[in-house]
Amino acid sequence: MIKKVDHIGIAVKSLEHALPFYTDVLKLPLLGIEEVDSEKVKVAFLKAGETKLELLEPLSEESAIARFIEKRGEGIHHVALGVDSIQERINDMKKNGIRMIQDVPKKGAGGALVAFMHPKSTGSILYELCEKNGELNNMPDIYEKINELYDRRREIELGGGDERIERQHEKGKLTARERIELLVDPGSFVELNPFIQHRSTDFGLENQKGPGDGVVTGYGKVNGRPIYLFSQDFTVFGGALGEMHAKKIANVMDLAAKNGAPFVG
């Protein structure tokens, strides 16, 4: 169950510039400052009555907070809800049709275990489930590895990044994943080979990332019937066909033939 609003996360460009307003003007006690390397942020906690404010300063342009500020400016980033038994709460949310960004909790600021709900499932508000328990602070290494996996997954789901996705939308076009969501039955799509990267070394490509090599492949259901599909991601190398890109399509095409299912692309 939800116990309380644990804290409100606020994205700021600089803690040094933002803190005086909270400590000198609002007279809120500063509880501490720490860096969360996994999220590439520096965090300051302030006590505000029965809850807390969490100021988040990005330490890298690659951090989610940096992307949030670039797109929306400084301001409220998320609302954290204090819970017990966070894994059970995650499972409850999924049973109720809520899409989770993390299926298992990850380690957050202050040693808490946290997991975020996807804003598309919560009225465009980013909610965080947060469990604080001294016994949980020494999180097993397996969780760290799982967190790394989910971080890589989120990076792949962004394709060429927020800016290129925004340009697609400005042209009236959908992304590869959005087109898939429109086609298949809700919750039925399973992606195949998402972590494949190109291995080209010509023209300086060895220094460029290409999440999924510009194509999303997998299987799902349409009106309850199985299909296999691919959707080219124009935010990555313009959706150009490369070696691994082609192999992903050929692989899912073979699976469609083997299983006697339609192939859509």
Which pLDDT tens digit goes with each residue over 122-149? 999 999 999 986 444 444 445 556 666 7
* Residue 18 pLDDT level (bands cut at 50, 70, 90): very high
Q: 43 with 35: CB under 8 angstroms?
A: yes
Residue 206 has pLDDT above 70, yes or no: no
Q: pLDDT at position 207, please?
A: 64
Q: pLDDT at position 137, please?
A: 44
Q: Tokens representing 121? A: 């499932």
- Average pLDDT estimate for 215-234: 91
Q: 131 with 83: CB under 8 angstroms?
A: yes
Domains in the chain, please, with CATH? 2-157 (3.10.180.10), 169-264 (3.90.226.10)
Q: pLDDT at position 162, please?
A: 77
**Beta pairing class for 263-264 and 41-48:** unpaired
Question: What rounded mean pLDDT belongs to the chain?
Answer: 85
Compute the distance between CA of residue 71 and CA of residue 224 in angstroms, rounded to an integer. Answer: 38
Q: Tokens representing 166? A: 């925004």
- Average pLDDT estimate for 94-104: 91
- Average pLDDT estimate for 234-238: 74
Q: N- to C-terminal Cα distance for the chain?
A: 43
- Average pLDDT estimate for 222-237: 88
Q: pLDDT at position 76, please?
A: 96
- Average pLDDT estimate for 222-230: 94
Residue 208 has pLDDT above 70, yes or no: no
Q: pLDDT at position 255, please?
A: 93
Q: Is 59 exposed, middle or buried (0-12, 13-18, 19+ CB in 10 A)?
A: middle
The strand pairing partners of 81, in sequence order, are 5, 129
Q: What is the pTM of this model?
A: 0.55
Q: pLDDT at position 212, please?
A: 65
The conformation of residue 152, written as its DSSP 8-state character, comes to: H
Q: Which residue has the tokens 């909610």?
A: 127
Residue 151 CA to its chain's centroid (Å): 7
pLDDT in tens, 190-200: 988 888 776 66
Compute the distance between CA of residue 49 and CA of residue 28 in angstroms, rounded to an integer. Answer: 9
